[in-house]
Amino acid sequence: GAVVSQHPSWVICKSGTSVKIECRSLDFQATTMFWYRQFPKQSLMLMATSNEGSKATYEQGVEKDKFLINHASLTLSTLTVTSAHPEDSSFYICSARPPVGAAKKSAKNIQYFGAGTRLSVL
């Protein structure tokens, strides 16, 4: 399957600092990427949809000024957690979806996931 790289895999930061997480699609161009948050023993919660060259679409309840998303190229989306606080500690996962036509018909809506980033805010 396709490869999505996420970096860093784990970051520990002080409260009040900002943290940037990168998500790269390595073998396809992704016009759409997704950012999820996952608490221990819970399902993935979609935070926002990142669209290349345009503003991200945030889910209800997600602060767009808190979680800045930039999708400047077809292979890179970044999530910046601004002024992080302990309650922001979580597992953040990105995914990328191949553009229509790039994947076989049966998998046209498939999402490939990064390995996730564990954020620990002290």
Partner 1 sequence: GESVGLHLPTLSVQEGDNSIINCAYSNSASDYFIWYKQESGKGPQFIIDIRSNMDKRQGQRVTVLLNKTVKHLSLQIAATQPGDSAVYFCAEFGNQFYFGTGTSLTVIP
Judged by the rule CB under 8 A, the positions of this chain that interact with partner 1 are 1, 4, 6, 34, 36, 39, 41-46, 59, 91, 93, 95, 106-116, 118
Taking a C-beta distance cutoff of 8 angstroms, is the pair 80, 63 a contact? no
| SS3 (DSSP) at 115 | coil
| CB nearer to partner 1: pick between 16 and 22 | 22
Work out whether the CA dihedral 66, 72, 73, 76 comes out positive or negative: negative
Q: Which helix (H) or strand (E) holds 9?
A: none
Nearer of residues 84 and 116 to partner 1, judged by Cβ: 116
Q: How far is the CB of 113 from partner 1 (least distance, A)?
A: 4
**Which one, 56 or 93, has the nearer CB to partner 1?**
93
Least separation in angstroms between residue 9's CB and partner 1 is 9
| Cα(100)–Cα(24) distance, integer angstroms | 18
Which residues are CB-contacts of 112 (< 8 A; sequence separation ≥ 6)? Answer: 1, 2, 3, 4, 25, 95, 96, 97, 98
Please, what is the minimum distance in Å from the beta carbon of residue 104 to partner 1?
A: 10
Considering the complex, state which of residue 4 and residue 81 has its C-beta at the smaller distance from partner 1.
4
Taking the complex as a whole, the smallest distance from the CB of residue 24 to partner 1 amounts, in Å, to 13
